[in-house]
Amino acid sequence: MYPYHMPGHKRRAWGELPESMYSMDITEITDFDNLHDADGIIAKLQIQAAQMYHADESFYLINGSTAGILSAISCAVSQGGRILMSRNCHKSSYHGAYLRELGISYLYPSYHEKCGILEAISPKQVEKALEQTPDVQAVLIVTPTYEGRIADVEAIAEIVHAKGIPLIVDEAHGAHLGLAEGFAKNSCQCGADLVIHSVHKTLPSLTQTALLHVNGNLIDRDKLRRFLRIYQTSSPSYLLMGSIDNALHRIETQGADAFRSFKENCIQMMHRLSDCKNLRFLPMDGVHQDFGKLLISVRDTELTGKQLFDILRDRYHLELEMAAGDYALAMFTINDGTEAYTRMVQALLEVDKSVSKAAGFTERMPLLDRSIFDEVSGKTLWEAWDAPMEFVELQESVGRCAAEFVNLYPPGIPLLVPGELIREECYSEIKKAYEQGLTVQGLSVVEDVNGIQTIQIKVLQ
């Protein structure tokens, strides 16, 4: 068939990209179905995905997990309603609350003192919060967390369902869960109503690919489809959909061996890293800490997470996922070969020998602590984000209310949400992150005529 239709490249190479890529980039032509009204091959693939993840129904996402989060929040909570969500949710969750003008009640994760990370939300935290906020229409948690901490979703789902409301799980970093023995169950298997998976994060699929699963009878499926059409492009990429199909098909046919090798490699790596004297690691047990998330803590050493990140990149040519003040994070998947584990172990053993304990180390105030971050302006997120604002120098922001999100990226978890009071501790943490060279979004660097730079932040007038 000659393509007298879109896309404009007409399946022929243009410029430097390979022709094979163009040849697969089609549109909704005859016999190739339509993502937004699937009744052919895409419908069949979505049914297969649902069976694989033990979901009632699954949807391909080509606008990433972001589209799934926005759609899930929008269909589960009415306009102007209230959602209970963990404070360490990705910024897309806050965008969903903003778009639907929602009130937000927060679940504040506990703090892992030894490594300086946030834990997963516990069932007791959810139960207590629901008792205090009876008007909540849905609960949203994230598991595994960006650092790999896994929540007890089964227990949380029982608590949430006892209130007659749905549980949404941002499981973007858990698309590999529940697909093989020895790995934690995925949240569909644990009873969650809406589950979002980033297929590209932990499985071999192209960037921007994801899945949204729905279960039970608490979710209006027609309403969910409406919001999927709103938040996803009307010209879905067949390259991206094809990569989801390719990844899931390979798992279905070769996944058992791939996951077995993956788990064994992670366990062997952790065993070898136990020789380190200064660097710390969270054990990958598959229950509390997800396989594939190597968290390297530099607490009590002379290094910062960013310095370790730079050493591994510049000296050993290892590009990690992210760096924070007290740790760095490396990710492994079923598509890593033995070289990935060997090089990482050799590098970390060498680094461990070259660093020493830090003198006079003091415990830092944890970010996202309830006593530091709170909605105190009297405005909801959506009211504060649209309210009159002004720029002030960062050091002058203490005591003012944020008018813009401030977050480290990655992971994209807001340190400040519009409407929250900027306390002294919060200012210190943001300033320290900036000085350590971490990517802090939501700040502006202004240079005067003399070349002197100042850091500014948006606050409510």
3-state secondary structure 403-453: CCCEEECCCCCEEECCCEECCHHHHHHHHHHHHCCCCEECEEEEECCCCCE
Taking the C-alpha atoms of residue 293 and residue 391, their distance in angstroms, rounded to an integer, is: 38
Q: What pLDDT was estimated at residue 359?
A: 57
User: Which residues, 6+ apart, have CB-to-CB distance to 128 below 8 Å?
Assistant: none
Q: For 232, how many CA atoms within 13 A lie in the half-sphere containing its CB?
A: 33
**CATH code matching the domain that covers 19-251, chosen among 3.30.530.20, 3.40.190.10, 3.40.640.10, 3.40.1190.20:** 3.40.640.10
Residue 252: phi, psi to the nearest 5?
Answer: -65, -35
Burial per residue of 205-222, b for 16 or more beta-carbon CB atoms within 10 angstroms, e otherwise? bbebbbbbbbbeebbeee
Q: Which two tokens stand for residue 358?
A: 């830090």
Identical fold for domains 259-354 and 381-460, yes or no, is no
DSSP for 373-393?
--B-SS--HHHHHHS-EEEEE
123-145 pLDDT, tens digit per residue, is: 999 999 999 999 999 999 999 99
Q: Is the pLDDT of residue 367 over 70?
A: no
Q: Is the pLDDT of residue 370 over 80?
A: no
Q: What pLDDT was estimated at residue 371?
A: 46
Locus of tokens 């922001």: 397
Q: Is the pLDDT of residue 291 over 60?
A: yes
**Of 2, 172, 19, which is closest to residue 89 (Cα–Cα)?**
172
Q: Is the pLDDT of residue 373 over 70?
A: no
Q: Characterise 273 by phi-psi region: left (phi > 0), alpha (psi -120 to 50), beta (else).
A: alpha
Q: Is the pLDDT of residue 207 over 50?
A: yes
pTM as predicted: 0.95
Q: What pLDDT was estimated at residue 448?
A: 84
183-188: average pLDDT: 98
Q: What pLDDT was estimated at residue 422?
A: 92
1-6: average pLDDT: 93
Average of per-residue pLDDT values in the chain: 94
372 pLDDT tier (thresholds 50, 70, 90): very low
> Could you tell me which residue, 370 or 383, shows the higher pLDDT?
383
Q: Is the pLDDT of residue 431 over 80?
A: yes
Question: Taking a C-beta distance cutoff of 8 angstroms, is the pair 151, 143 a contact?
Answer: yes
Q: What pLDDT was estimated at residue 368?
A: 60
CATH code of the region 259-354: 3.90.1150.10
Q: What pLDDT was estimated at residue 53?
A: 98
Q: Is the pLDDT of residue 374 over 60?
A: no
33-39: average pLDDT: 96
The SS3 of residue 112 is strand
Q: Which two tokens stand for residue 430?
A: 């943001």
Taking the C-alpha atoms of residue 166 and residue 103, their distance in angstroms, rounded to an integer, is: 17
Taking the C-alpha atoms of residue 35 and residue 419, their distance in angstroms, rounded to an integer, is: 38
Architecture of the structural domain at 381-460:
Alpha-Beta Complex (3.90)
68-115 pLDDT, tens digit per residue, is: 999 999 999 999 999 999 999 999 999 999 999 999 999 999 988 888
Q: Measure Cα distances from 160 to 133, 141, 396 in Å.
A: 12, 11, 42
> Could you tell me which residue, 360 or 49, shows the higher pLDDT?
49
**What percent of the chain is predicted at pLDDT more than 70?**
96
Q: Characterise 254 by phi-psi region: left (phi > 0), alpha (psi -120 to 50), beta (else).
A: alpha
Identity of residue 260: R
Paired sense of beta strands 389-393 and 453-460, if any? antiparallel
Q: For 143, how many CA atoms within 13 A lie in the half-sphere containing its CB?
A: 35
Domain extents for the chain? 19-251, 259-354, 381-460
